[in-house]
Amino acid sequence: MIPNVVRRAFSIVKSLPIPPNIAALEGPADWADARKWISQFEAESIPKTLVELSFSRSSGPGGQNVNKVNTKATVRCSVNAYWIPPWARPALVSSSQYVASSHSLLITSTVHRSQSENIEDCLTKLHNLVLSAASASVKNETPEETKKRVEGYQKAQKERNKRSKIHRSSVKQFRGKAKGGGWD
């Protein structure tokens, strides 16, 4: 029997899907694996235990609340975290939230007056950032309807080109050389 503490710790770690170990998405099989991971990741939220949290005083108006309470939340997460897909890392490194000195992502929130809401806002921002970076290089499958429609367009275009060529050929054929001596 597994103790509850271990089971809870395992469930927290297990809550985020582990991405496939694909450095670059190069083909339909890679795209399918990436799409599967993205759909699993979309359904989950990032637990606080997977990031470094720090708090400080917010700036701006707010009276005594701003001066006394550390409501500004800052989340730091390594770009090489196990739950961040390898193919998304180049996009994350080029984002404005990337900090080169620590090779991490730094996200802050001062939107809300409470610390807990700012933490949730930071985690949501991080989730969306990772999701958009992971989705950027994934190509979607073309639906069968679209394939058939494009095939029909291509057939129609070939037919138009053929008719146009036949028409141009007949125009040129009728030009011919002048009969009866002509200009020369």
Q: Judge if 157 and 108 occupy the same domain.
A: no
Structural domains of the chain, count: 2
77 CB-near residues (< 8 Å, 6+ apart): 50, 51, 52, 84, 104, 105, 107, 126
Asked if residue 111 belongs to a domain, the reply is: yes
Amino acid identity for residue 86 in this structure: P
* Residue found under tokens 């701003």: 66
Asked if residue 116 belongs to a domain, the reply is: yes
Asked if residue 22 belongs to a domain, the reply is: yes
Asked if residue 7 belongs to a domain, the reply is: no
**What pLDDT does 7 receive?**
42
Domain assignment of residue 129, given as a range: 13-136
Q: Judge if 103 and 150 occupy the same domain.
A: no
CATH of the domain at 31: 3.30.160.20
Q: Judge if 119 and 52 occupy the same domain.
A: yes
81 CB-near residues (< 8 Å, 6+ apart): 50
Asked if residue 1 belongs to a domain, the reply is: no
Which tens digits make up the pLDDT trace of 116-150? 999 999 999 999 999 999 888 887 777 888 889 99
CA-angle at 110, arms to 108 and 44, nearest 5°: 55
Q: Please count the other Cβ atoms lying within 10 Å of the Cβ belonging to residue 104.
A: 19
Which tens digits make up the pLDDT trace of 56-111? 887 766 666 666 778 889 999 999 999 999 999 999 999 999 999 999 999 999 88
Q: Judge if 132 and 86 occupy the same domain.
A: yes
